[in-house]
Amino acid sequence: MRNRAIAVLMLVTVAACGDPPLAPEAARAAAAKIWAERCVSCHGVNGRGDGPGAKLLPVKPRNFGDGAWQRDTEDSRIAQVIVDGGMSVGLDRNMAANPDLRTKPEVVTALVELIRGL
């Protein structure tokens, strides 16, 4: 009886928390997929700010390969821009929010790592 109560409690807990976090490798794969599907159109495959959609933007995305920007920018700021959008830190509104990633911090971390490697 007690075991059953514990099992029910665990099920409820899992349901309340949503999907369990992905392992690092799976998180990196998910981040690479998101980068290709949601980011490359503006930022370009290598993050140079030269995606096909960038031409149409009034404010161009920066070159993520810029060493000074990499050095002066906190991981937490990159993560915030990704999840809450550019406007959350005073950047252009065309940098949209990705609210679905709010519950996937491990994928956001992997996206930040990906940007760090560009």
Considering only residues 28, 43, 44, 106, which one is a binding residue for ligand HEC as defined by CB under 6 A?
A: 43
Cα 109 to chain centroid distance, Å, stands at: 7
Q: Which stretch binds ligand HEC (CB under 6 A): 2-10, 12-20, 22-30, 92-100?
A: 92-100
Q: Which residue has the tokens 């992997």?
A: 110
Considering only residues 73, 97, 109, 118, which one is a binding residue for ligand HEC as defined by CB under 6 A?
A: 73
CA distance 89 to 85: 8
Structure tokens at 8: 């029910």
Does 48 bind ligand HEC (CB under 6 A)? Our answer is no
Q: For residue 104, what are the CA distances in angstroms to 13, 21, 33, 47, 82? A: 17, 7, 14, 22, 12
Does 41 bind ligand HEC (CB under 6 A)? Our answer is yes
- Looking at residue 19, what DSSP letter applies? S
Considering only residues 27, 28, 44, 61, which one is a binding residue for ligand HEC as defined by CB under 6 A?
A: 61
Considering only residues 27, 28, 42, 44, which one is a binding residue for ligand HEC as defined by CB under 6 A?
A: 42
CA distance 105 to 71: 22
Binding site for ligand HEC (CB under 6 A): 34, 38-39, 41-43, 53, 57, 59, 61-62, 73, 78, 81-82, 86, 91-92, 94-95, 98, 111, 115
